[in-house]
Structure 1
Amino acid sequence: MASVFDPVCRHAAVTPDNIALRGATDQWTYLQLRDATMRYAGALAAAGLSPGDRVLLAAPSVPEFVVAYLGIQAAGCVVVPVNTMSTRAEAEYVLGDAGCSLAIAWHALGPAVAEAAAALSVPSWALSPGTPVTAAPADVVDRDRDETAAILYTSGTTGRPKGAQLTVGNLLSAGEIGAECSRASSADRTGTGLPLFHVFGQASVMMATLTVGGSMSLLARFDPASMLEMLRRDRLTIMAGVPTMWNAMLHAAGDANPADFAGLRVAVSGGASLPGEIARAFEARFGCTILEGYGLTETTAFGTFNDLDRGAKTGYTGRAVPRMQVRVCDDNGDECPPGSVGEVHIKGPTVMRGYWNRPADTAAAISSDGWFRTGDLGETDTDGDLRIVDRVKDLIIRGGYNVYPGEVEEVLYEHPDIVEAAVIGVPDDHYGEEVAALVAARPGADLGAAEVSNWARERLSAYKIPRIVRFVDALPKGPTGKILKRSIDRGALTRDTALGDVAARRL
């Protein structure tokens, strides 16, 4: 029997005065976090919630999110975290699909969650600073490790979003694996601007930090200047983020040098492929090791990770993390030899229980012997390191040739005037698909479409060169900062191909 809340109870008993959480203006010790969490669990029990009931939670990365999240766990309920930017329709869908008995939303958010809850006759609470509740502390509900502890809805690139059921064992294992990968200890000060409602912040950062008894500094909303301030103020030793965050911090760092961040030893990167140019520049500027990992919501954020001793291998996400197995398979399910591209499969204690109320989707994604099919294309090298080539659905097939957008983006990021880049396929009558690139240039740069295409032509095979180039002020991003290719209007790109082989206009 176990609870996701166990690590906090353990450290509150042994090191009660150690700092667990740091927000913008406050900090919480492990004892304060434990007591606040148990009172919150008591409030849930007093409201009539029972173990197994689902509770929607919408809040930014503030200490109160952690209290509510763990309070739901301590009460034996199932937390259903959602994006703070969810519309009423989106919140209503999740509330209905998960069958939630309660909705909790941060007090400063708009009315979307409360309105969605009212439409479904579901009670709603406001989550306020300090999480003031008057209920008596509740006893922690022990659960089996294979019971569902959280339901995280996937991004829904096809069809309606599906709820990935993460178990008590999934989350506890993720915390243990994450701590082992970064060699974290109670002396570490971890900081992030990632949203905790996303699996990266929730499992790889929050659970890993609480597992070892370290402190976690939180930004309610990522901003490069604020992240740099937090890095200095809290003397962070570990940071976690996505490539767009590292890129933004590089541009905001000014004339800073490694001496300004002497305590920082490792930056954990995930969520999207990390361009080598950004990694090298970040390590030089911040004087730390930046290590890329790979995982999914359905694997509780873990799959592979680069090793601290070996250091990062540019373009690769490392080997399987401890306790996990990773392989690359062909269409027949046979393991591919090194250097051959196939679908990445993952097996181990962080693989989800399945999709909520979707047995057919679960059966299609998880084999009878426990291997999860990721839908990602990858290849291993002779050392066993994994390189993610692209999503299966992002693959561009131009005139019968496979074009992996990540490879083209890596080349574009090497250009000194390109800040962001996204490569996608658009329909083409002749080739089936054409390669298109959306580019955000450095402010003040005199960069044209022809120069972008020529830059790629000097470094890539002819069929991989973007024939369509568009300039944008910024690319669309999700809550973690990950570039959202599905939000790009491919129709607009296709319509403009009549302008010539390489067309450019600001969208």
Structure 2
Amino acid sequence: MRGHDGEAVVGEATEWGSIGGLVRDAAVRYAGTEAVVEGRTRVSYAELGARVERSAAACLADGVRPGDRVAIWAPNSLDWIVAALGAVSAGAVLVPLNTRFKGAEAADVLRRSGARLLFVTGTFLGTSYVAALRRALAQGPGLPDLERVVVLSDDAPADYRTWKDFLAGGEAVDAREVAARMASVPGSAPSDIVFTSGTTGRPKGAVITHAQSLRAYDIWAELAGLRHGDRYLIVNPFFHTFGYKAGVLACLMRGATMIPQPVFSTDTALANIAAERVSVLPGPPTLHQSLLDHPARDSHDLSALRLVVTGAAVVPLRLVERLRGELGVATVLTAYGLSEASGIVTMGRRGDDPALIAQTSGRAIPGTEVRVDAPPGTPGEILVRGFNVMRGYYEDPAATAEVLDASGWLRTGDVGVLDPSGNLRITDRLKDMFIVGGFNAYPAEIERTLGLHPEVRDVAVVGVPDPRLGEVGLAYVVRHPGTRLTSDDLIAWSRREMANYKVPREVRFLPELPRNASGKVVKGELRGR
């Protein structure tokens, strides 16, 4: 079936019904295909399906009811996949916690979501998450709804359970009971509550259903060209919509092999790509830039890499050209999304011109509408309407009403421009825009221009107070290795390339820009400097 523009229209993903239905279908359809590779552990789709059903059985044995919130606070791993999919298959609503959270931040989300069960990693990056949680509980108001904590390791405090013991608890549950529970979960039921990053205040939980998740990432997989036999290095964190859904769910839909990487390291990524013949590598532009610039890149065989999906306000054209030219990546696509819209709003199409891919985030995905709250060709707030828009913020009708109107339009808080063909160019967050002498300055637009300078590797621009103009731009710049770019050089170059009000009045150099676990620049930290 094709839409009015000749584009393939993907179905409503009703063949699966729920995420649990997707797991069962993949276990049969791709039974002998490798589903997950984690070090020496290699699990087929048939075995993954069996593990997920054991996890679901354990949830039933533990008293998890449909609609209960089950949280997970752990890095990318096979256990994360099995624990999360088991809970969701049992009808629970998944609440992924950011691995960068401190104990008090995690406790706040657990408290506000009313999570009954928590899966938590033992130690990660030298931090004991169990100890951090215990400290937070000792110092805070407690978690009255939390009945069980399961540690994803072989060791756990006396009042917590190990992952092995938790799974053993489900052995007495009849397989028919598990199958009946999985089959009873409707597509209209919530599948997850993703708490937004909180860059503009207290995090809020976007409620997304099974049907929304399945439809959105069936479309994503179709537009990206993900296929059976692909080997997918998942560096994007699972706690993020994109890592979990464009990673785990999309692979289940197409029978691709998941290779979870818990921490991004260029050396590890290069080794994985070569050893596992990785063909698919989504991630932020900085990830791909670091691979291209690594001094040992040529000693690794990266020839299997064929698909890259990236997204950010700024994707340098040179990056797209280098991925295609130097690494031979056949398909490079950009996309735009936010948690409140199931993580996907627009996406490029295979065959798009490299300049279009670099300069825009593609067009609205099938089943959605995108408009800009401004005259044609000028920047304005991006509004989205369609099947992908959240039900609302969890137990927060006031915050929901601020962003979601009666007609179903979601105010994203992002600023962009639509071209006549419907391609969206993100210019910034509303909160990041600053005003220079009465002119609106959009940092992402300035960053895109500064990124064209041959000695600029990475850049972020923030507005800072100015006694005469109100605000002016301050650019934080990462130089390419071995270059000697100065502040005066870049400012002089900028005056030749952009309107005077956009030119940064100051440039500061950093070895790296501060980024959160999702790869986004933490501009609040830069402003604080």
Structure-1-length-normalised TM-score: 0.91
* Structure 1 residue 27: Cα displacement: 2.0
* Structure 1 residue 372: Cα displacement: 1.2
Q: Corresponding residue for 1:282?
A: 323
CA distance in 2 between counterparts of 1:180 and 1:169 reads 16
SS at 1:411's partner residue? helix
Asked whether the equivalents of residues 408 and 456 of structure 1 are also in contact (C-alpha less than 8 Å), the reply is no
* Structure 1 residue 22: Cα displacement: 1.6
Confirm whether residue 210 of structure 1 aligns to residue 210 of structure 2.
no
Confirm whether residue 241 of structure 1 aligns to residue 291 of structure 2.
no
2:428 to 390, 406, 413: 390
Q: Corresponding residue for 1:62?
A: 77
Confirm whether residue 355 of structure 1 aligns to residue 393 of structure 2.
yes
Confirm whether residue 9 of structure 1 aligns to residue 24 of structure 2.
yes
Q: Corresponding residue for 1:106?
A: 121
CA distance in 2 between counterparts of 1:186 and 1:131 reads 31
Confirm whether residue 327 of structure 1 aligns to residue 376 of structure 2.
no
CA distance in 2 between counterparts of 1:435 and 1:456 reads 12
Give identity over the alignment, percent: 35
Q: Corresponding residue for 2:471?
A: 433
CA distance in 2 between counterparts of 1:206 and 1:167 reads 16
* Structure 1 residue 278: Cα displacement: 2.4
CA distance in 1 between counterparts of 2:353 and 2:342 reads 24
Residue 277 of structure 1 aligns with an amino acid whose one-letter code is: R
SS at 1:283's partner residue? helix
In terms of mean alpha carbon deviation, does 50-59 or 127-136 score higher? 127-136
* Structure 1 residue 114: Cα displacement: 4.7
CA distance in 1 between counterparts of 2:297 and 2:240 reads 33
Q: Corresponding residue for 2:108?
A: 93
Asked whether the equivalents of residues 372 and 418 of structure 2 are also in contact (C-alpha less than 8 Å), the reply is yes
Structure-2-length-normalised TM-score: 0.87
Confirm whether residue 124 of structure 1 aligns to residue 149 of structure 2.
yes
Asked whether the equivalents of residues 436 and 466 of structure 1 are also in contact (C-alpha less than 8 Å), the reply is yes
Q: Corresponding residue for 1:301?
A: 343
CA distance in 2 between counterparts of 1:278 and 1:403 reads 25
Residue 254 of structure 2 aligns with an amino acid whose one-letter code is: V
Q: Corresponding residue for 1:421?
A: 459
**Cα distance, 1:144–1:273 mapped onto 2, change above 3 Å:** farther
Gaps of 5+ in 2: 1-13, 155-161
1:268 to 309, 325, 329: 309
Q: Corresponding residue for 1:496?
A: none
Q: Corresponding residue for 1:160?
A: 202
Q: Which runs of 4+ in 1 moved over 6 A?
A: none
Please give the residue correspondences for 1:140-179 in structure 2 after superposition, counting only pairs within 5 Å. 140-141=181-182, 142-179=184-221
Q: Deviations over 1:180-218 (max 9, x none)?
A: 111222122222211011011112222111111221111
Residue 342 of structure 2 aligns with an amino acid whose one-letter code is: T
Confirm whether residue 223 of structure 1 aligns to residue 265 of structure 2.
yes
Asked whether the equivalents of residues 178 and 205 of structure 1 are also in contact (C-alpha less than 8 Å), the reply is no
CA distance in 2 between counterparts of 1:117 and 1:41 reads 28
* Structure 1 residue 249: Cα displacement: 1.2
* Structure 1 residue 47: Cα displacement: 1.5
Q: Deviations over 1:244-274 (max 9, x none)?
A: 11111111164639x9433222200025432
Q: Corresponding residue for 2:236?
A: 194
2:491 to 436, 453, 463: 453
* Structure 1 residue 442: Cα displacement: 2.8
What value does the CA root-mean-square deviation take over the aligned residues?
2.0
CA distance in 2 between counterparts of 1:470 and 1:25 reads 45
CA distance in 1 between counterparts of 2:346 and 2:410 reads 14
* Structure 1 residue 358: Cα displacement: 0.9
Asked whether the equivalents of residues 103 and 113 of structure 1 are also in contact (C-alpha less than 8 Å), the reply is no
CA distance in 2 between counterparts of 1:271 and 1:65 reads 26
* Structure 1 residue 131: Cα displacement: 5.2
* Structure 1 residue 175: Cα displacement: 2.0
CA distance in 2 between counterparts of 1:145 and 1:429 reads 56
2:360 to 316, 331, 338: 316
CA distance in 2 between counterparts of 1:24 and 1:413 reads 37
Asked whether the equivalents of residues 384 and 410 of structure 2 are also in contact (C-alpha less than 8 Å), the reply is yes
Q: Deviations over 1:321-363 (max 9, x none)?
A: 1222212223xxxxx42x2222111122221111011112112
Confirm whether residue 482 of structure 1 aligns to residue 515 of structure 2.
no
Q: Corresponding residue for 1:374?
A: 412
Asked whether the equivalents of residues 415 and 429 of structure 2 are also in contact (C-alpha less than 8 Å), the reply is yes
SS at 1:423's partner residue? strand
Gaps of 5+ in 1: 331-335, 493-507
Q: Deviations over 1:349-400 (max 9, x none)?
A: 2211110111121122122222211111111112221111111111121001
SS at 1:345's partner residue? strand
1:256 to 295, 298, 306: 298
Aligned residues: 484
* Structure 1 residue 42: Cα displacement: 1.4
Asked whether the equivalents of residues 464 and 527 of structure 2 are also in contact (C-alpha less than 8 Å), the reply is no
Confirm whether residue 20 of structure 1 aligns to residue 35 of structure 2.
yes
Q: Deviations over 1:430-488 (max 9, x none)?
A: 11111000112234432221112122122111111110111122111100222111222
**Cα distance, 1:113–1:171 mapped onto 2, change above 3 Å:** farther
Q: Corresponding residue for 1:501?
A: none
* Structure 1 residue 23: Cα displacement: 1.9
Residue 13 of structure 1 aligns with an amino acid whose one-letter code is: V
Q: Corresponding residue for 1:84?
A: 99
CA distance in 2 between counterparts of 1:103 and 1:115 reads 16
Asked whether the equivalents of residues 346 and 361 of structure 2 are also in contact (C-alpha less than 8 Å), the reply is yes
Residue 395 of structure 2 aligns with an amino acid whose one-letter code is: N
Asked whether the equivalents of residues 244 and 482 of structure 1 are also in contact (C-alpha less than 8 Å), the reply is no
Q: Corresponding residue for 2:62?
A: 47
Q: Corresponding residue for 2:8?
A: none
Asked whether the equivalents of residues 313 and 427 of structure 2 are also in contact (C-alpha less than 8 Å), the reply is no
SS at 1:402's partner residue? strand
CA distance in 1 between counterparts of 2:59 and 2:390 reads 26
SS at 1:377's partner residue? strand
**Cα distance, 1:322–1:487 mapped onto 2, change above 3 Å:** same
Asked whether the equivalents of residues 462 and 527 of structure 2 are also in contact (C-alpha less than 8 Å), the reply is no
